[in-house]
């Protein structure tokens, strides 16, 4: 696993952590935005590394906004690892790709110990509104 390359303040309320495969931006005390780099296949160890950073940076339970602006994929281990995160309160994905609805439905069908809401939005503001309502 790689350690974070850098952490630097964006403004008074947010931090960004750049990992080798994604960028995590802390949006609030319990919400983070994740942007996976172009062309990456996210693996189980990558999910574990990402959640290690989130557990250190956020109050629990926490929410995730996953910005799907880059093309990438998740291997099966990554998909199952995402479903096993007890600290999650909810996940909102932002995408303009119609196939995301199908991918989310598929991920939601995977067995997982905790159930949290997950939805796809076409814009970031609506996604953040859903997460704030949780």
φ and ψ at residue 80, rounded to 5 degrees: -70, -35
Q: In angstroms, what CA-CA distances link 124 with 46, 63, 69, 110, 114? A: 24, 14, 11, 26, 25
Lowest-confidence region among 7-21, 42-56, 62-76, 118-132: 7-21
Q: Which of 37, 90, 38 is nearest to 63 (CA)?
A: 90
pLDDT at 96: 80
Mean pLDDT in residue range 95-111: 67
The whole-angstrom separation of Cα 28 and Cα 30 is: 5
pLDDT of residue 5: 41
Please provide the average confidence, as pLDDT, over all residues in the chain: 82
pLDDT digits (tens, 9 = 90+) for 2-19: 444 444 333 444 589 999
Question: Can you spell out the DSSP letters for 58-100?
Answer: S-SSEEEEEE--S--EE-HHHHHHHHT-TTEEEEEEE-S-THH
Is the pLDDT confidence value at 112 over 90? Answer: no
């Amino acid at each position: 696993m790689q350690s974070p390359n850098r952490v630097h303040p964006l403004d008074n309320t947010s931090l960004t952590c750049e990992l080798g495969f994604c960028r995590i931006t802390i949006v609030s005390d319990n919400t983070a935005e994740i942007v996976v780099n172009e062309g990456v296949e996210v693996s189980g160890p990558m999910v574990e590394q990402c959640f290690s950073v989130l557990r250190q940076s956020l109050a629990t339970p926490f929410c995730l906004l996953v910005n799907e602006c880059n093309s990438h994929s998740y291997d099966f281990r990554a998909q199952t690892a995402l479903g096993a995160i007890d600290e999650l309160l909810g996940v909102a994905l932002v995408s303009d790709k119609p196939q995301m609805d199908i991918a989310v439905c598929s991920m939601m069908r995977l067995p997982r110990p905790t159930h949290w809401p997950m939805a796809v939005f076409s814009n970031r503001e609506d996604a953040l509104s859903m997460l704030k309502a949780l």
